[in-house]
């Protein structure tokens, strides 16, 4: 004899449907959550890198006051701090070079003036002699002595310049 029992499985089908819908909803929510977390992590990593690139471009274009905003103590923050220190160092070096250039320009102007003074005197004395404005042996000796003094003064200035040039070159 065969015996068959028939049961109504509507309750089980409803339970399976609820479990299936719950799994789909939970899976979808997890996928969205993972996507959101991934987006946030990528933004936190990419944003400082983009900021570093913009800051580097600003520095390259001459804006030496541009710095990165540093937040936290992670690798990105250390990168930003190192970047800012490098920018500060560059700005200090450029300021030192500008100051040195200003000093050098002033020095060249002073040297030019100091060399021009004895040269003008020598030319003037030579012109006086050429025009015959000096008469007699005594006046001629005095004029030649003045020319000699101014020549020696100019030679001393040139020697001083050579010493400075050697000192500037440093030891070889």
Using CB atoms within 10 Å of the CB of residue 48, give its burial: 0 to 12 exposed, 13 to 18 middle, 19+ buried. Answer: buried
pLDDT at 140: 85
How far apart are the C-alpha atoms of 110 and 92, rounded to whole Å? 27
Question: Is the whole model's pTM more than 0.85, yes or no?
Answer: no
pLDDT at 35: 97
pLDDT at 172: 60
Q: Which of the 8 DSSP states describes residue 62?
A: T
Q: How does 16-29 read in b/e, with b if 16+ C-beta sit within 10 Å?
A: eeeeeeeeeeeeee
Tell me the pLDDT of the chain (172 aa) as tens digits: 888 888 888 999 999 999 999 999 999 999 999 999 999 988 887 887 888 888 888 888 888 788 888 888 888 788 888 888 888 898 899 889 999 888 888 888 888 888 888 888 888 888 888 888 878 888 888 888 988 998 898 888 888 888 887 887 777 6
């Amino acid at each position: 004899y065969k015996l068959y029992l028939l049961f109504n499985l509507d309750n089980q089908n409803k339970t399976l449907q609820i479990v299936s819908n719950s799994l789909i909803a939970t899976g979808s929510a997890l996928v969205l959550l993972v996507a959101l977390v991934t987006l946030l992590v990528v933004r936190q990593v990419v944003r400082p890198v983009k900021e570093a690139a913009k800051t580097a471009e600003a520095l390259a274009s001459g804006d030496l006051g541009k710095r990165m905003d540093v937040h936290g103590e992670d690798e990105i923050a250390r990168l930003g701090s190192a970047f800012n220190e490098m920018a500060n160092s560059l700005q200090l070096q450029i300021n030192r070079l500008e100051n040195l250039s200003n000093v050098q320009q002033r020095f060249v102007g002073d040297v030019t003036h100091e060399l021009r003074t004895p040269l003008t005197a020598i030319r003037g004395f030579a012109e006086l002699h050429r025009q015959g404005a000096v008469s007699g042996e005594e006046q001629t000796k005095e004029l030649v002595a003045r020319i000699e003094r101014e020549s020696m003064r100019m030679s001393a200035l040139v020697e001083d310049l050579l010493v400075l040039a050697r000192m500037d070159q440093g030891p070889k």
